[in-house]
Amino acid sequence: MKSITSYTSEAFVIQGGKPLKGRVKVSGSKNASLPIIMASLLPREVSIIENVPDLLDTLTAFELIKSLGASVDFQNGVATIDARYLRDYKAPDEMVRRMRASVLVMGPLLAKFGKAVVSMPGGCSIGVRSIDQHLKVFEKGGANIEVKHGYIHLQVDKIKPVEHTFEVITVTGTENALMFLSGCERRSLLRNIALEPEVMDLVDVLKKMGVEIEIEDRTAVIRGSSELKSFKHTVIPDRIEAGTLMVAGFLTGGEVVLENTRVEHLGSVIEKLREAGAQVELLSLNSLRVKRDGDIKPLVISTAEYPGFPTDMQAQFMVLCCLAKGVSEIRENIFENRFQHVAELQRMGANIHVRDRTAIVKGVEKLSGAEVYSTDLRASASLVLAGLVAEGTTTVRDIHHLDRGYEKLEEKLRSLGATIERLPRREG
Ligand code: EPU
Protein backbone atom coordinates (compact mmCIF):
# COMPACT_ATOMS: atom_id res chain seq x y z
CA MET A 1 0.00 0.00 0.00
CA LYS A 2 1.30 3.51 -0.82
CA SER A 3 2.09 6.03 1.87
CA ILE A 4 0.08 9.24 2.25
CA THR A 5 3.08 11.36 1.17
CA SER A 6 3.25 9.62 -2.20
CA TYR A 7 0.02 11.45 -3.10
CA THR A 8 1.06 14.96 -2.19
CA SER A 9 2.56 16.11 -5.47
CA GLU A 10 1.92 19.68 -6.00
CA ALA A 11 0.78 20.78 -9.42
CA PHE A 12 -0.49 19.85 -12.85
CA VAL A 13 0.87 21.69 -15.84
CA ILE A 14 -1.55 21.55 -18.75
CA GLN A 15 -1.17 22.72 -22.34
CA GLY A 16 -4.68 23.55 -23.50
CA GLY A 17 -6.35 23.15 -26.85
CA LYS A 18 -6.22 19.41 -27.59
CA PRO A 19 -9.54 17.69 -28.35
CA LEU A 20 -9.78 14.55 -26.22
CA LYS A 21 -10.43 11.36 -28.16
CA GLY A 22 -10.54 7.70 -27.23
CA ARG A 23 -11.83 5.22 -24.70
CA VAL A 24 -11.44 5.42 -20.96
CA LYS A 25 -12.45 3.18 -18.03
CA VAL A 26 -14.13 4.78 -15.07
CA SER A 27 -12.76 3.84 -11.63
CA GLY A 28 -14.73 2.62 -8.62
CA SER A 29 -16.67 5.22 -6.68
CA LYS A 30 -14.92 7.07 -3.88
CA ASN A 31 -18.10 8.01 -2.06
CA ALA A 32 -19.45 4.45 -2.26
CA SER A 33 -16.14 2.92 -1.14
CA LEU A 34 -15.81 5.02 2.02
CA PRO A 35 -18.98 3.85 3.83
CA ILE A 36 -18.44 0.27 2.63
CA ILE A 37 -14.89 0.29 4.07
CA MET A 38 -16.36 1.49 7.39
CA ALA A 39 -19.15 -1.12 7.16
CA SER A 40 -16.51 -3.85 6.92
CA LEU A 41 -15.99 -3.29 10.66
CA LEU A 42 -19.41 -4.81 11.32
CA PRO A 43 -19.02 -8.52 10.51
CA ARG A 44 -16.90 -10.85 12.58
CA GLU A 45 -15.15 -12.41 9.59
CA VAL A 46 -13.05 -11.32 6.63
CA SER A 47 -14.78 -9.24 3.95
CA ILE A 48 -13.65 -8.45 0.41
CA ILE A 49 -14.33 -5.21 -1.43
CA GLU A 50 -13.51 -5.02 -5.14
CA ASN A 51 -13.18 -2.02 -7.49
CA VAL A 52 -11.96 0.27 -4.69
CA PRO A 53 -10.16 3.29 -6.18
CA ASP A 54 -6.59 3.94 -5.05
CA LEU A 55 -6.98 7.46 -3.66
CA LEU A 56 -5.91 9.61 -0.78
CA ASP A 57 -9.39 9.29 0.80
CA THR A 58 -9.64 5.50 0.55
CA LEU A 59 -6.12 5.25 1.97
CA THR A 60 -7.20 7.46 4.89
CA ALA A 61 -10.23 5.22 5.47
CA PHE A 62 -7.95 2.15 5.54
CA GLU A 63 -5.58 3.89 7.97
CA LEU A 64 -8.48 4.77 10.22
CA ILE A 65 -9.83 1.22 10.47
CA LYS A 66 -6.30 -0.12 10.89
CA SER A 67 -5.81 2.25 13.81
CA LEU A 68 -8.89 0.60 15.36
CA GLY A 69 -7.32 -2.84 15.02
CA ALA A 70 -8.60 -4.09 11.65
CA SER A 71 -6.13 -5.62 9.23
CA VAL A 72 -6.28 -4.44 5.63
CA ASP A 73 -4.68 -5.80 2.52
CA PHE A 74 -5.20 -3.54 -0.51
CA GLN A 75 -3.91 -4.61 -3.90
CA ASN A 76 -5.10 -3.91 -7.44
CA GLY A 77 -8.35 -2.39 -6.25
CA VAL A 78 -9.24 -5.31 -3.97
CA ALA A 79 -9.41 -4.69 -0.24
CA THR A 80 -9.44 -7.68 2.11
CA ILE A 81 -10.49 -6.54 5.55
CA ASP A 82 -10.34 -8.55 8.74
CA ALA A 83 -12.12 -6.76 11.58
CA ARG A 84 -12.31 -9.68 14.01
CA TYR A 85 -9.93 -8.17 16.54
CA LEU A 86 -10.82 -4.53 16.95
CA ARG A 87 -9.17 -2.97 19.98
CA ASP A 88 -10.13 0.70 19.80
CA TYR A 89 -13.14 2.87 19.06
CA LYS A 90 -11.63 6.32 18.55
CA ALA A 91 -11.30 8.34 15.35
CA PRO A 92 -8.58 10.86 16.13
CA ASP A 93 -8.62 14.50 15.16
CA GLU A 94 -5.95 14.25 12.45
CA MET A 95 -8.00 11.62 10.56
CA VAL A 96 -11.27 13.57 10.73
CA ARG A 97 -9.50 16.75 9.66
CA ARG A 98 -7.90 14.93 6.74
CA MET A 99 -11.22 13.42 5.72
CA ARG A 100 -14.64 14.41 7.07
CA ALA A 101 -16.09 11.09 5.95
CA SER A 102 -14.15 9.57 8.88
CA VAL A 103 -17.35 10.31 10.84
CA LEU A 104 -18.82 7.30 9.03
CA VAL A 105 -17.03 5.15 11.56
CA MET A 106 -19.54 6.20 14.25
CA GLY A 107 -22.41 4.00 13.04
CA PRO A 108 -20.43 0.74 12.78
CA LEU A 109 -18.53 1.32 16.05
CA LEU A 110 -21.74 1.94 17.97
CA ALA A 111 -23.35 -1.12 16.40
CA LYS A 112 -20.35 -3.32 17.20
CA PHE A 113 -18.90 -1.95 20.48
CA GLY A 114 -21.68 0.28 21.78
CA LYS A 115 -19.00 2.98 21.94
CA ALA A 116 -17.37 5.54 19.66
CA VAL A 117 -15.19 8.56 20.23
CA VAL A 118 -14.84 10.74 17.16
CA SER A 119 -13.27 14.13 16.75
CA MET A 120 -15.98 16.74 16.16
CA PRO A 121 -15.62 17.81 12.53
CA GLY A 122 -15.24 21.54 12.02
CA GLY A 123 -16.48 23.49 9.01
CA CYS A 124 -14.77 22.84 5.71
CA SER A 125 -14.02 24.71 2.52
CA ILE A 126 -17.45 24.08 0.96
CA GLY A 127 -19.65 24.82 3.95
CA VAL A 128 -20.43 24.37 7.64
CA ARG A 129 -21.50 20.74 7.18
CA SER A 130 -23.05 19.95 10.52
CA ILE A 131 -23.57 16.31 11.62
CA ASP A 132 -26.62 17.02 13.79
CA GLN A 133 -28.76 14.66 11.68
CA HIS A 134 -26.40 11.75 12.31
CA LEU A 135 -26.44 12.40 16.03
CA LYS A 136 -30.24 12.67 16.22
CA VAL A 137 -30.60 9.10 14.95
CA PHE A 138 -27.99 7.80 17.41
CA GLU A 139 -29.75 9.61 20.23
CA LYS A 140 -33.14 8.16 19.30
CA GLY A 141 -31.49 4.74 19.23
CA GLY A 142 -30.56 5.22 22.89
CA ALA A 143 -27.02 6.61 22.55
CA ASN A 144 -25.70 8.96 25.16
CA ILE A 145 -23.80 11.78 23.46
CA GLU A 146 -21.32 14.15 25.05
CA VAL A 147 -18.89 16.59 23.46
CA LYS A 148 -15.68 16.90 25.49
CA HIS A 149 -12.43 18.57 24.46
CA GLY A 150 -13.36 18.60 20.79
CA TYR A 151 -14.42 14.96 20.72
CA ILE A 152 -17.90 13.44 20.51
CA HIS A 153 -18.25 10.56 22.99
CA LEU A 154 -21.06 8.18 22.11
CA GLN A 155 -22.20 5.24 24.14
CA VAL A 156 -25.15 2.86 23.89
CA ASP A 157 -25.94 -0.37 25.75
CA LYS A 158 -28.50 -1.92 23.43
CA ILE A 159 -29.62 -0.05 20.32
CA LYS A 160 -33.34 0.73 20.45
CA PRO A 161 -35.49 0.76 17.30
CA VAL A 162 -35.77 4.22 15.79
CA GLU A 163 -38.48 6.09 13.97
CA HIS A 164 -36.97 9.22 12.48
CA THR A 165 -37.58 11.78 9.76
CA PHE A 166 -34.41 13.51 8.57
CA GLU A 167 -34.83 17.30 8.58
CA VAL A 168 -32.38 17.63 5.69
CA ILE A 169 -31.51 14.96 3.19
CA THR A 170 -28.01 13.82 4.04
CA VAL A 171 -25.87 11.23 2.28
CA THR A 172 -23.43 10.28 5.03
CA GLY A 173 -26.15 10.89 7.66
CA THR A 174 -28.32 8.23 5.98
CA GLU A 175 -25.31 5.89 5.68
CA ASN A 176 -24.34 6.31 9.33
CA ALA A 177 -27.94 5.72 10.43
CA LEU A 178 -28.23 2.53 8.35
CA MET A 179 -24.95 1.14 9.72
CA PHE A 180 -25.96 2.02 13.29
CA LEU A 181 -29.38 0.38 12.96
CA SER A 182 -27.77 -2.75 11.48
CA GLY A 183 -26.96 -3.50 15.09
CA CYS A 184 -30.62 -3.37 16.20
CA GLU A 185 -32.64 -6.56 15.84
CA ARG A 186 -35.95 -4.76 15.92
CA ARG A 187 -37.57 -2.86 13.06
CA SER A 188 -36.65 0.82 12.52
CA LEU A 189 -38.07 3.40 10.16
CA LEU A 190 -36.13 6.25 8.53
CA ARG A 191 -37.94 8.87 6.48
CA ASN A 192 -36.56 11.46 4.07
CA ILE A 193 -33.40 9.46 3.40
CA ALA A 194 -30.82 10.14 0.69
CA LEU A 195 -31.19 7.92 -2.38
CA GLU A 196 -27.78 8.54 -3.96
CA PRO A 197 -26.40 5.46 -5.77
CA GLU A 198 -23.58 5.43 -3.19
CA VAL A 199 -26.15 4.99 -0.39
CA MET A 200 -27.81 2.19 -2.37
CA ASP A 201 -24.45 0.46 -2.81
CA LEU A 202 -24.06 0.44 0.98
CA VAL A 203 -27.61 -0.91 1.28
CA ASP A 204 -26.60 -3.80 -1.00
CA VAL A 205 -23.62 -4.53 1.24
CA LEU A 206 -25.69 -4.42 4.43
CA LYS A 207 -28.20 -6.81 2.86
CA LYS A 208 -25.33 -9.19 2.03
CA MET A 209 -24.46 -9.08 5.74
CA GLY A 210 -27.97 -10.20 6.62
CA VAL A 211 -29.61 -6.86 7.40
CA GLU A 212 -33.19 -6.58 6.14
CA ILE A 213 -33.76 -3.25 4.37
CA GLU A 214 -36.71 -2.16 2.29
CA ILE A 215 -36.80 1.22 0.60
CA GLU A 216 -39.81 2.90 -0.90
CA ASP A 217 -39.73 6.52 -2.03
CA ARG A 218 -37.55 8.18 0.61
CA THR A 219 -38.45 5.78 3.44
CA ALA A 220 -36.34 2.88 4.67
CA VAL A 221 -37.50 0.06 6.92
CA ILE A 222 -34.55 -1.71 8.48
CA ARG A 223 -34.08 -4.70 10.76
CA GLY A 224 -30.53 -5.51 11.82
CA SER A 225 -28.90 -8.51 13.42
CA SER A 226 -26.45 -9.23 16.21
CA GLU A 227 -24.51 -11.64 13.97
CA LEU A 228 -23.64 -9.86 10.74
CA LYS A 229 -22.07 -12.00 7.99
CA SER A 230 -18.91 -11.15 6.08
CA PHE A 231 -19.43 -10.01 2.49
CA LYS A 232 -17.87 -9.76 -0.94
CA HIS A 233 -18.85 -6.75 -2.99
CA THR A 234 -17.84 -4.86 -6.13
CA VAL A 235 -18.13 -1.10 -5.66
CA ILE A 236 -20.18 0.81 -8.27
CA PRO A 237 -18.34 2.98 -10.81
CA ASP A 238 -17.75 6.61 -9.85
CA ARG A 239 -20.51 8.68 -11.45
CA ILE A 240 -18.73 11.96 -10.67
CA GLU A 241 -15.52 10.83 -12.35
CA ALA A 242 -17.66 9.67 -15.29
CA GLY A 243 -19.39 13.05 -15.44
CA THR A 244 -16.06 14.89 -15.25
CA LEU A 245 -14.65 12.85 -18.16
CA MET A 246 -17.83 13.42 -20.18
CA VAL A 247 -17.50 17.17 -19.68
CA ALA A 248 -13.81 16.92 -20.68
CA GLY A 249 -14.68 15.18 -23.96
CA PHE A 250 -17.45 17.61 -24.88
CA LEU A 251 -15.66 20.76 -23.70
CA THR A 252 -12.53 20.07 -25.75
CA GLY A 253 -14.57 19.31 -28.86
CA GLY A 254 -13.48 15.69 -28.87
CA GLU A 255 -15.13 12.29 -28.77
CA VAL A 256 -14.82 10.12 -25.68
CA VAL A 257 -16.18 6.65 -24.96
CA LEU A 258 -16.62 5.83 -21.27
CA GLU A 259 -16.41 2.22 -20.24
CA ASN A 260 -17.22 0.62 -16.90
CA THR A 261 -19.77 3.24 -16.02
CA ARG A 262 -23.42 2.94 -14.95
CA VAL A 263 -25.54 4.92 -17.41
CA GLU A 264 -28.55 4.69 -15.05
CA HIS A 265 -26.68 6.80 -12.45
CA LEU A 266 -25.93 9.62 -14.89
CA GLY A 267 -29.45 10.74 -15.86
CA SER A 268 -29.33 14.40 -14.82
CA VAL A 269 -25.76 14.85 -16.05
CA ILE A 270 -26.56 13.38 -19.48
CA GLU A 271 -29.67 15.56 -19.69
CA LYS A 272 -27.70 18.76 -19.02
CA LEU A 273 -24.91 17.78 -21.40
CA ARG A 274 -27.47 17.20 -24.15
CA GLU A 275 -29.06 20.57 -23.39
CA ALA A 276 -25.60 22.11 -23.79
CA GLY A 277 -25.42 20.56 -27.25
CA ALA A 278 -23.52 17.33 -26.60
CA GLN A 279 -24.29 14.18 -28.52
CA VAL A 280 -24.50 11.45 -25.91
CA GLU A 281 -24.96 7.98 -27.31
CA LEU A 282 -25.75 5.14 -24.93
CA LEU A 283 -23.78 2.14 -26.16
CA SER A 284 -24.81 -0.30 -23.41
CA LEU A 285 -25.83 -0.22 -19.75
CA ASN A 286 -22.16 0.38 -18.89
CA SER A 287 -20.82 2.43 -21.73
CA LEU A 288 -21.54 5.68 -23.58
CA ARG A 289 -20.05 8.02 -26.17
CA VAL A 290 -19.93 11.82 -25.84
CA LYS A 291 -19.07 14.16 -28.66
CA ARG A 292 -19.48 17.69 -29.79
CA ASP A 293 -20.02 19.16 -33.17
CA GLY A 294 -21.32 22.63 -32.52
CA ASP A 295 -21.35 25.52 -30.07
CA ILE A 296 -21.88 25.05 -26.35
CA LYS A 297 -25.35 26.26 -25.38
CA PRO A 298 -25.96 28.11 -22.10
CA LEU A 299 -27.58 26.22 -19.23
CA VAL A 300 -29.77 26.74 -16.20
CA ILE A 301 -28.56 24.42 -13.45
CA SER A 302 -29.88 23.98 -9.94
CA THR A 303 -28.12 21.41 -7.76
CA ALA A 304 -30.27 18.94 -5.83
CA GLU A 305 -30.22 15.60 -4.09
CA TYR A 306 -30.20 12.51 -6.32
CA PRO A 307 -31.82 12.05 -8.79
CA GLY A 308 -31.35 15.82 -9.25
CA PHE A 309 -28.24 17.47 -10.65
CA PRO A 310 -25.28 16.65 -8.34
CA THR A 311 -23.49 19.39 -6.43
CA ASP A 312 -20.32 17.39 -7.12
CA MET A 313 -20.68 18.22 -10.84
CA GLN A 314 -21.48 21.93 -10.42
CA ALA A 315 -17.91 23.25 -10.72
CA GLN A 316 -17.16 21.14 -13.82
CA PHE A 317 -20.33 22.32 -15.59
CA MET A 318 -19.45 25.91 -14.73
CA VAL A 319 -16.44 25.56 -17.03
CA LEU A 320 -18.78 24.57 -19.88
CA CYS A 321 -20.93 27.61 -19.12
CA CYS A 322 -17.83 29.85 -19.22
CA LEU A 323 -17.47 29.00 -22.92
CA ALA A 324 -21.17 28.76 -23.86
CA LYS A 325 -22.77 31.10 -26.41
CA GLY A 326 -24.93 33.10 -24.00
CA VAL A 327 -25.69 33.54 -20.31
CA SER A 328 -26.02 30.61 -17.91
CA GLU A 329 -27.37 30.48 -14.38
CA ILE A 330 -26.07 28.04 -11.78
CA ARG A 331 -27.71 27.71 -8.40
CA GLU A 332 -25.97 25.75 -5.63
CA ASN A 333 -28.58 24.45 -3.21
CA ILE A 334 -26.64 21.84 -1.23
CA PHE A 335 -23.57 23.64 0.15
CA GLU A 336 -23.45 27.32 1.03
CA ASN A 337 -19.84 27.98 0.02
CA ARG A 338 -19.21 25.91 -3.06
CA PHE A 339 -18.18 28.65 -5.50
CA GLN A 340 -14.50 28.94 -4.64
CA HIS A 341 -13.49 27.91 -8.13
CA VAL A 342 -15.12 31.10 -9.43
CA ALA A 343 -12.21 33.36 -8.47
CA GLU A 344 -9.73 31.00 -10.09
CA LEU A 345 -11.80 30.69 -13.28
CA GLN A 346 -11.99 34.50 -13.39
CA ARG A 347 -8.17 34.54 -13.40
CA MET A 348 -8.44 32.53 -16.60
CA GLY A 349 -10.75 35.10 -18.21
CA ALA A 350 -14.18 33.77 -17.20
CA ASN A 351 -17.04 36.22 -16.76
CA ILE A 352 -18.90 35.09 -13.62
CA HIS A 353 -20.88 37.01 -11.02
CA VAL A 354 -22.03 35.36 -7.82
CA ARG A 355 -24.96 36.57 -5.79
CA ASP A 356 -25.85 34.51 -2.75
CA ARG A 357 -26.11 30.96 -4.03
CA THR A 358 -26.42 31.79 -7.72
CA ALA A 359 -23.65 32.27 -10.27
CA ILE A 360 -24.43 34.12 -13.49
CA VAL A 361 -21.96 33.02 -16.13
CA LYS A 362 -21.61 34.99 -19.37
CA GLY A 363 -19.91 32.89 -22.00
CA VAL A 364 -16.59 34.22 -23.32
CA GLU A 365 -14.75 33.35 -26.56
CA LYS A 366 -11.85 31.70 -24.80
CA LEU A 367 -10.13 31.07 -21.49
CA SER A 368 -6.44 31.81 -21.13
CA GLY A 369 -3.95 29.66 -19.25
CA ALA A 370 -2.92 30.90 -15.79
CA GLU A 371 -1.55 29.73 -12.48
CA VAL A 372 -4.52 28.71 -10.36
CA TYR A 373 -5.09 27.09 -6.97
CA SER A 374 -7.34 24.20 -5.99
CA THR A 375 -9.53 24.78 -2.97
CA ASP A 376 -11.47 21.52 -2.84
CA LEU A 377 -11.81 18.30 -4.76
CA ARG A 378 -14.39 19.23 -7.39
CA ALA A 379 -13.06 22.79 -7.71
CA SER A 380 -9.69 21.32 -8.67
CA ALA A 381 -11.35 19.11 -11.30
CA SER A 382 -12.96 22.21 -12.79
CA LEU A 383 -9.58 23.95 -13.02
CA VAL A 384 -8.07 20.95 -14.81
CA LEU A 385 -10.99 21.04 -17.28
CA ALA A 386 -10.49 24.76 -17.81
CA GLY A 387 -6.78 24.14 -18.40
CA LEU A 388 -7.61 21.54 -21.08
CA VAL A 389 -9.40 24.17 -23.22
CA ALA A 390 -7.52 27.32 -22.24
CA GLU A 391 -5.09 29.00 -24.56
CA GLY A 392 -1.50 28.33 -23.46
CA THR A 393 -0.27 26.83 -20.21
CA THR A 394 -2.28 26.37 -17.02
CA THR A 395 -0.66 25.36 -13.76
CA VAL A 396 -3.11 23.92 -11.23
CA ARG A 397 -1.54 23.99 -7.78
CA ASP A 398 -2.52 22.23 -4.53
CA ILE A 399 -3.70 19.15 -6.38
CA HIS A 400 -3.68 17.07 -3.22
CA HIS A 401 -7.37 18.06 -3.19
CA LEU A 402 -7.80 16.34 -6.54
CA ASP A 403 -5.82 13.29 -5.43
CA ARG A 404 -8.42 12.72 -2.71
CA GLY A 405 -11.00 11.71 -5.27
CA TYR A 406 -9.76 11.07 -8.82
CA GLU A 407 -7.77 7.94 -9.52
CA LYS A 408 -4.97 8.49 -12.05
CA LEU A 409 -6.82 11.40 -13.64
CA GLU A 410 -3.82 12.73 -15.52
CA GLU A 411 -3.00 9.28 -16.92
CA LYS A 412 -6.56 8.92 -18.15
CA LEU A 413 -6.56 12.39 -19.71
CA ARG A 414 -3.16 11.74 -21.32
CA SER A 415 -4.46 8.49 -22.81
CA LEU A 416 -7.18 10.61 -24.46
CA GLY A 417 -4.58 12.96 -25.95
CA ALA A 418 -4.28 15.71 -23.31
CA THR A 419 -0.93 17.30 -22.56
CA ILE A 420 -0.84 17.21 -18.77
CA GLU A 421 2.10 16.67 -16.51
CA ARG A 422 2.48 16.31 -12.77
CA LEU A 423 5.11 18.55 -11.24
CA PRO A 424 6.84 17.13 -8.19
CA ARG A 425 6.34 18.78 -4.84
CA ARG A 426 8.34 21.96 -4.29
CA GLU A 427 10.67 21.71 -1.33
CA GLY A 428 10.78 24.38 1.39
N1 EPU B 1 -26.36 18.65 6.73
C2 EPU B 1 -26.84 19.10 7.92
N3 EPU B 1 -26.80 18.24 9.01
C4 EPU B 1 -26.31 16.99 8.92
C5 EPU B 1 -25.83 16.54 7.68
C6 EPU B 1 -25.86 17.38 6.59
O7 EPU B 1 -27.28 20.23 8.04
O8 EPU B 1 -26.29 16.28 9.94
C9 EPU B 1 -26.40 19.52 5.54
C10 EPU B 1 -25.00 19.83 5.01
O11 EPU B 1 -24.40 20.92 5.69
C12 EPU B 1 -25.28 20.13 3.56
C13 EPU B 1 -26.45 19.19 3.24
O14 EPU B 1 -27.02 18.83 4.49
O15 EPU B 1 -25.69 21.46 3.41
C16 EPU B 1 -26.08 17.92 2.49
O17 EPU B 1 -24.95 17.32 3.10
P18 EPU B 1 -24.70 15.75 3.11
O19 EPU B 1 -24.68 15.28 4.52
O20 EPU B 1 -25.58 15.06 2.15
O21 EPU B 1 -23.20 15.70 2.57
P22 EPU B 1 -22.12 14.66 3.03
O23 EPU B 1 -22.78 13.39 3.33
O24 EPU B 1 -21.24 15.26 4.05
C25 EPU B 1 -21.66 13.58 0.68
C26 EPU B 1 -20.48 13.42 -0.22
C27 EPU B 1 -20.11 14.77 -0.80
C28 EPU B 1 -21.33 15.29 -1.59
C29 EPU B 1 -22.55 15.38 -0.67
C30 EPU B 1 -23.81 15.79 -1.37
C31 EPU B 1 -19.32 11.57 0.79
C32 EPU B 1 -18.14 11.07 1.52
N33 EPU B 1 -19.38 12.89 0.55
O34 EPU B 1 -21.26 14.49 1.70
O35 EPU B 1 -19.04 14.55 -1.71
O36 EPU B 1 -21.05 16.57 -2.11
O37 EPU B 1 -22.78 14.09 -0.05
O38 EPU B 1 -24.11 14.91 -2.41
O39 EPU B 1 -20.18 10.80 0.39
C40 EPU B 1 -17.12 15.13 -2.91
O41 EPU B 1 -17.02 13.93 -3.24
O42 EPU B 1 -16.44 16.05 -3.46
C43 EPU B 1 -18.07 15.51 -1.88
C44 EPU B 1 -17.98 16.66 -1.21
Give residue-wise pLDDT tens across range 317-329. Answer: 999 999 999 999 9
| Protein residues with CB under 6 Å of any ligand 1 atom | 31, 34, 101, 127-134, 168, 170-173, 194, 198, 311-312, 334-335, 377-378, 405
Domain span(s) for CATH 3.65.10.10 in the chain: 11-27+237-423, 30-234
Q: What is the pLDDT of residue 170?
A: 97
> Whose C-alpha lies nearest to ligand 1, atom 36?
312
Closest atom of ligand 1 to CA, residue 334? 15
Residue 339 to residue 199: CA distance in whole angstroms: 25
Closest atom of ligand 1 to CA, residue 136? 8
CA of 354 to the centre of ligand 1 (A): 22
Q: Name the band, by pLDDT with cuts 50, 70 and 90, for residue 259.
A: very high
Q: What is the pLDDT of residue 130?
A: 87
Closest atom of ligand 1 to CA, residue 376? 42
Residue 283 has pLDDT above 50, yes or no: yes
Q: Evaluate whether 20 touches 413 at the Cβ level (below 8 Å).
A: yes
CB atoms within 10 A of CB 4: 12
Q: Evaluate whether 110 touches 118 at the Cβ level (below 8 Å).
A: no
Q: What is the pLDDT of residue 121?
A: 83
Q: What is the pLDDT of residue 123?
A: 61
φ and ψ at residue 132, rounded to 5 degrees: -55, -35
CA of 370 to the centre of ligand 1 (A): 31
Q: Name the band, by pLDDT with cuts 50, 70 and 90, for residue 11.
A: very high
Q: What is the pLDDT of residue 3?
A: 53
CATH topology assigned to domain 11-27+237-423: UDP-n-acetylglucosamine1-carboxyvinyl-transferase; Chain (3.65.10)
- Segment 326-344 mean pLDDT: 95
Q: What is the pLDDT of residues 85-133, one digit of tens each?
A: 898 899 888 888 889 999 999 999 999 999 999 998 866 677 667 899 9
Residue 168 to residue 133: CA distance in whole angstroms: 8
Closest alpha carbon to 307 in 269, 334, 343, 344: 269
CATH topology assigned to domain 30-234: UDP-n-acetylglucosamine1-carboxyvinyl-transferase; Chain (3.65.10)
Catalytic option among 124, 184, 321, 322: 124
Q: What is the pLDDT of residue 129?
A: 73
Buried (b) or exposed (e) across 185-194, using 16+ Cβ within 10 A? eeebebebbb
Q: What is the pLDDT of residues 376-420, one digit of tens each?
A: 999 999 999 999 999 999 999 999 999 999 999 999 999 999 999
pTM of the model: 0.96
Q: What is the pLDDT of residue 7?
A: 47
CA of 172 to the centre of ligand 1 (A): 6
CA of 311 to the centre of ligand 1 (A): 9
- Segment 341-362 mean pLDDT: 97
Q: Name the band, by pLDDT with cuts 50, 70 and 90, for residue 8.
A: low
Q: What is the pLDDT of residue 414?
A: 98
CA of 424 to the centre of ligand 1 (A): 32
Closest alpha carbon to 387 in 422, 417, 345, 330: 345
- Segment 150-174 mean pLDDT: 97
Active site residue 184: no
Percent of the chain with pLDDT over 70: 96
Q: What is the pLDDT of residue 125?
A: 74
Q: What is the pLDDT of residue 336?
A: 87
Question: In whole numbers, what is the pLDDT of the chain averaged over residues?
Answer: 94
> Whose C-alpha lies nearest to ligand 1, atom 5?
131
